[in-house]
Structure 1
């Protein structure tokens, strides 16, 4: 019996061709809605050829807002380390040399970068939510434990290792995800998101300094943890992966070591991180030790430095979308090196404030533009998580080296060798800028009007 026979056997009063068509259409619509709902609840399907980024729209800009909060609580906390360094130098919590204290911030910086070796491939496999939850918990938990510390080794474990690893689980996915939502506005989007680190570097030092004097160090640190906990809610609520790779990737992309422009640029990041570590760790302690400012203004110097870097995170990235990322980063990195060396010429409070603002502005390029550069230098975009984590892990060695080596140059006996410290940081910035010029030539030649 065929289908037509079935229809003929149905009594006329039960047959309603128009009703059948309407019911069939309604069923199809219901099925489509159910399918769309199920698709939205699942992680993005693996794809070998992802569609072009939307380059805007509500969901894309929500990713930027979420990234802003993650930068706020990763690099933003790290940018506040100058306040911790100055407080630890006072000896109220424990006794240690400048070089030993700087190991806390250096290990925290390094682990923020090194963890990318693990976080990148995990992100590529589609486990963004796991990274966000785990990283957020470790940052908050690490600060809660820091509030209970009374010895150097305890601070090292909680602040350097726990917070450092948690920050790394959040940072690499952030800079890997945003480029999948933007194309022509990629630099601006990452710049806006990374300006969260500057705002964090303004708010956290002020909160820490003001509360230490009012409620003590333990509750000041707990307050920071509560701020972080509240601001982590936005990324957990809105962050979404748009693209997943078709199959799991290796933890390390060995082809990157044969990619001359990629590895040369990674070397430049390593070197500029050395110079930037000098600023992050000593911008507050320097004016207090030299007597340029009182203790109160010395603590605020970290906030002034990071306030200057807000525009330094956004404007260079906006410019890079128009003239090219390497055309932007190379000269700004060279200028950063020069301005760091000029710190040695500061003689009063006014000069220190100007230097903090200027170096803060140019240091914005150190965090905001490398993710864009790594993205441009990665031909296979589905490997961006692995490549990004790998590049920052190698570059992070500069942060590990920078703090302790700067502390060794500074010395332990008064008067401290501040001139040697700032020359060291300045030369690192200049050398890094020259290496980026080389990368630019490797990609686009010596023609000045080429966007590269």
Structure 2
């Protein structure tokens, strides 16, 4: 047993310092080469004279270990574990909209306002993303499981302590920082694991795994509202914290990585990825897409209740439908990405997302139209969470995936933090400076949301060009 544990820790701590540079090897044995007495043929002479084409991009260089990926096996257990993890992390995080609505309606904390509560929601996500380098450093030192268990402690304590907070400052720390750190330490080490088990079906496996957030949001948003209405907001938070504990601990313990087999690295902070000629397009796309995602996620229910004066129950129903759309859309797009090309289909996905925002949400006047939009938005807008690891792996390879993702999440801190506050600031500007009321007050925010989703897709064309080495639009990438 001691030997097995030691091997497991060694695998988790694997680093590139033990791996030699990748070099091209001539696969032709010396015995099969042209002998001294033999004269090369004309075709051989011509071939030798002609310069050999050089690889056009770094993405085309084969990576050690990538050909030894099992395409499943225990990987499907990893998928099941990640469904549970996403359901009780991001799924739990979506319940914040239910809590904030209650806080605002009942003036629960002194100093709480719509903008302040929006900052708390953004802060938890920003703190999560900010933990990327820390999570990678701890994973190298302690192993990814222990790091993730520290994260589980933060998630559970953040929710339970938020239930007993007496003022807004305490609540800001518990819900925004402690809970956010728990999310980061739990989610960041788990992101690269599927790439150890899947290559051709990586996007599908990731889509299925991240659909857990939609499943968790769909179930927990409704149970949280029932708990608040029938028990108390304090106990609703404590109950959700205990649900997280029961689901996360066994899921984390069942996770396995193949770090040594694929030569995976976990360098905590390699700034070279910021200016990597292929990766720069991916993180730029993600920054704009992230802001669009949070504007839609947190503004749709408010638009229904404040803009169209629909009842709170219908606003909550829209959040549930959006979560259901995520549960359906992420595996679906994962399948499409694996069959039609990860970058190609991501571009199509977000063109649909942006056009539906401008053509359906912007002119919406009824609950029925908003139901249709919530479903489409759920199926497309949140796809960034499921395509991030496959896209980054497509550009930098499995070996550098964890290191590149660390910088990727770090870059997305600011977009995640400011997306919803920007939407609220634009809403206030429309109401106070432009004199717009009702649905019209939301038009600028909705237009920004749709415009960023569409505009960001053009940035992915740069990543496509870097991988292909040409501008062929319909080439599978």
Q: TM-score range by the shorter chain?
A: 0.7 to 0.9
Deviation at 1:390, TM superposition (A): 0.8
Sort the Cα spacing of 1:428 and 1:85 in 2 relative to 1 into closer, same or farther, 3 A. farther
- Say if 1:247 and 1:348 are closer, same or farther in 2 by CA, change over 3 A: closer
Distance 1:85 1:335 in 2: 30
Tell me how many residue pairs correspond in the alignment.
Answer: 417
Q: Which secondary structure does the structure 2 equivalent of 1:232 belong to?
A: helix
Query: 1:417-432 residue pairs with structure 2 within 5 A?
Result: 417-432=441-456
Cα distance, 1:126 vs. partner?
A: 6.2
Cα RMSD after superposing both structures? 2.3
For 1:232 and 1:161, the matched residues in 2 are separated by 19
Pick the aligned partner of 2:383 from 352, 365, 374.
365
1:284 alignment partner, SS class: helix
Which segment drifts farther, 406-415 or 112-121? 406-415
Q: Quick one: distance in 2 between partners of 1:310 and 1:350?
A: 20
> In structure 2, do the counterparts of structure 1 residues 38 and 403 end up closer, same or farther at CA, with 3 Å as the change threshold?
closer
1:149 is displaced (CA, Å) by 2.1
Q: Which range is displaced more, 259-268 or 37-46? A: 37-46
1:224 is aligned to 240
Runs of 4+ in 1 over 6 A off after TM superposition: 245-248
Decide whether the 8 Å contact of 1:126 with 1:241 is kept in 2: no
- CA shift digits 1:300-323 (9 cap, x unpaired): 221111101112111111111111
* 2:77 is the alignment partner of 1:62: yes
Superposed displacement of residue 162, structure 1 = 0.8
**Larger CA Rg, structure 1 vs 2:** 1
Aligned equivalents of 1:187 and 1:173: distance in 2? 18
Match of 1:240 among 242, 256, 267: 256
Deviations 1:377-420 (A, max 9, x none): 114x3332121111111023211110111111111768362111
**Does structure 2 retain, via aligned residues, the 8 Å contact 1:116–1:392?**
yes
Corresponding position of 1:92 = 107
* Structure 2 alignment gaps of length 5 or more: 20-63
The two structures have a TM-score, normalised by structure 2, of: 0.82
**Aligned to 1:252, what secondary structure does the other structure show?**
coil
TM-score between both structures, scaled by the size of structure 1: 0.86
Of 161, 166, 176, the match for 2:182:
166
The residue number in structure 2 matching 1:263 is 280
- In 2 relative to 1, CA 124–440 (structure 1 residues): closer, same or farther, beyond 3 Å? farther
Residues 246 and 344 from structure 1, CA distance in 2 versus in 1: closer, same or farther, beyond 3 angstroms? closer
1:96 Cα deviation after fit: 3.1
> Which of the residues 157, 161, 181 maps onto 2:197?
181
Change (3 A) 1:249 1:367: closer
Asked if 1:384 corresponds to 2:384, the answer is: no
- The aligned counterpart of 1:375 is 393
Q: Given the superposition, is the C-alpha separation of residues 293 and 219 from structure 1 closer, same or farther in structure 2, using an over 3 Å criterion?
A: same
Instruction: Answer yes or no: is the 8 Å Cα contact 2:152–2:249 preserved in 1.
Output: no
1:111-163, Cα deviation, whole Å (9 max, x unpaired): 12111122134335561111121001100100001111242222211111011
Q: Which residue in the other structure is 1:204 paired with?
A: 220
Contact 2:266 2:402 in 1 (8 A): no
Q: Which moved more, 1:238-247 or 1:435-444?
A: 238-247
Deviation at 1:423, TM superposition (A): 1.0
